[in-house]
Amino acid sequence: MELRKDPITRSWVICGDEPEQAPSAGSFCPFCPESGLPLQVVATSPTVNGSPWSARAVVHPHPLYGIDGEPGRSGNGLYDKMRPVGAHEVIVENARHDRHLWNADDREIEEYLALCGQRIQDLKGDVRFKYVSVFKNFGSMSGQEFDHPTSEIVATTFVPRRVLYELRSARQHYQVKERCVFCDILQQEQEQKLRMIEVRGEYMAACPYAPRVPYETWIAPRNHEAYFERSALRSGAMRDFAALLRRTLFRIRTIADGFHMVLHTSPNTIHKSETLGFWKTIEDDYHWHLEILPILGAKAKSYTFKEVYYSPVSSETSAAILRERPTE
C-alpha cells in the first residue's frame, strides 16, 4: 500500500494490491468482552451500565495505515507518493453486541464521544499526523466491516480532501466577513426553520441546503467551537449531543437501511504546518460538525451521478419527514 497524490486535484489516495484476506472463522465476534481474543487495547472507558466497560479503542485488526516510521514523501517525475504512515483504530461503541448508538443509554453514548475526543487529542500529540478522522459505516451497502457496533479512527499525515475544501472555504469566508461560515449557516437555519430537524440544548440537527443524498443530516454545536475534542472533553458538554445523536440516528434508521457518518473537526494545529497555513485563523473560522449520509437501499447507486450529486428528495422535504419520525 502507498499514498499517491493526484497531481490535478491534489488529493491523496491510498492505493495498492491488497492480498485476499482469509474469511474469518464463523460468527465469532472479536470485540465482545467474552471473546478473550488478544486485541491491542489502546484505551477503555469505565462502565456506566454494569458491562465490563462502556467503550474502548483497539488497534484495527487489519490496519490500512502503519504506526511506525516516517512518511518518506518522495517524487517520481511529477508524481508524489508517501508511505501510509498513520494510526488506524476501531472504537468499540458498546460492550454489548446488539447495543447501537440509536438504542444505547445517553450516558453510554457520552462515554463513546468522550473516548473519541481523547483519542483525537492523543493522536494529535504525534507531530507526524496532520488530521484525525472519526467515521462509521453502517449497513451492508456501506462497507461496514464488523457486526459489533464500531466506529473507526484514522490519523493521517495529510488532511482528507473534503475537509481541506471546507477549511479553504471557511478561511475565505472569514477573510471577507470576519465571521465563521458555519455559524452564519446555523443562524440562518435557526431563523428559517425550513431544514431544521431538532434543537437540543447547545446542539442542532438539520439537513444541509445542498444535500449530497436524500436525508443527509448534520449535527453541530450552535455556538462556535472549532475542535470536537474540546467539546468532548468538557465535563457534561456532550449530554445534549449524545441524546441528539441517538434520536437523529433513530429517525434515519426508520428511513434508511444504512448510513455513513463522519466527524469533521479541525486538523492538528498543535504542530503548526507552514505548508497548510490554515492554523492562522482556524480557531475562529472552522466549526466542528458531524455529517450523516443515509444509504437508501437499492436506489443508492443512482443518486450519485459520479461527480454531481443528485438528491431526488429536497432538504426541506427530508427535514419535514425526519421531524415526524419516531426518536426511540
H-run or E-run covering 79: strand 79-82
The interface with Zn ion within residues 50-109 (CB under 5 A) comprises 97
Nearer to Zn ion, 31 or 112 (CB): 31
Nearer to Zn ion, 187 or 302 (CB): 187
- Smallest distance, Zn ion to C-beta of residue 147, A: 6
Give the span between the Cα atoms of 213 and 23, in whole angstroms.
Answer: 32
- Smallest distance, Zn ion to C-beta of residue 112, A: 15
Place of cell 500529540: 125
Nearer to Zn ion, 32 or 43 (CB): 32
- Smallest distance, Zn ion to C-beta of residue 25, A: 14
Give the CA distances from residue 89 to residues 60, 155, 217, 289, in Å, rounded to whole numbers and listed in that order: 5, 9, 25, 21
Nearer to Zn ion, 114 or 262 (CB): 262
H-run or E-run covering 289: strand 289-295
Q: Which three cell numbers stand for residue 163?
A: 475537509
Q: Which stretch binds Zn ion (CB under 5 A): 75-83, 105-113, 115-123, 285-293?
A: 285-293
Over the Cα atoms of the chain, what is R_g?
A: 20
Q: How many other CB atoms sit within 10 Å of the CB of residue 142?
A: 19
In 3D, which of 272, 64, 82, 56 has the Cα closest to residue 155? 64
- Smallest distance, Zn ion to C-beta of residue 264, A: 4
Is residue 119 at the binding interface for Zn ion, with CB under 5 A as the rule?
no
- Smallest distance, Zn ion to C-beta of residue 104, A: 14
Is residue 32 at the binding interface for Zn ion, with CB under 5 A as the rule?
yes
Among 124, 130, 136, 148, binds Zn ion (CB under 5 A): 148
Among 183, 197, 243, 261, binds Zn ion (CB under 5 A): 183
The interface with Zn ion within residues 247-276 (CB under 5 A) comprises 264
Is residue 4 at the binding interface for Zn ion, with CB under 5 A as the rule?
no
Using DSSP, state whether 118 is helix, strand or coil. Answer: helix
Supply the DSSP string of 230-246, one letter for each residue.
HHHTSTTTTHHHHHHHH
In 180-299, which residue ranges form alpha helices assigned H by DSSP? 181-192, 228-232, 239-253, 282-285
Q: Which stretch binds Zn ion (CB under 5 A): 102-110, 191-199, 266-274, 287-295?
A: 287-295
What is the CA 23 to chain-centroid distance, rounded?
27
Is residue 181 at the binding interface for Zn ion, with CB under 5 A as the rule?
no
The interface with Zn ion within residues 200-239 (CB under 5 A) comprises 224
Among 180, 213, 242, 292, binds Zn ion (CB under 5 A): 180
Name the residues that contact Zn ion, by CB under 5 A.
29, 31-32, 97, 148, 180, 182-183, 224, 264, 287
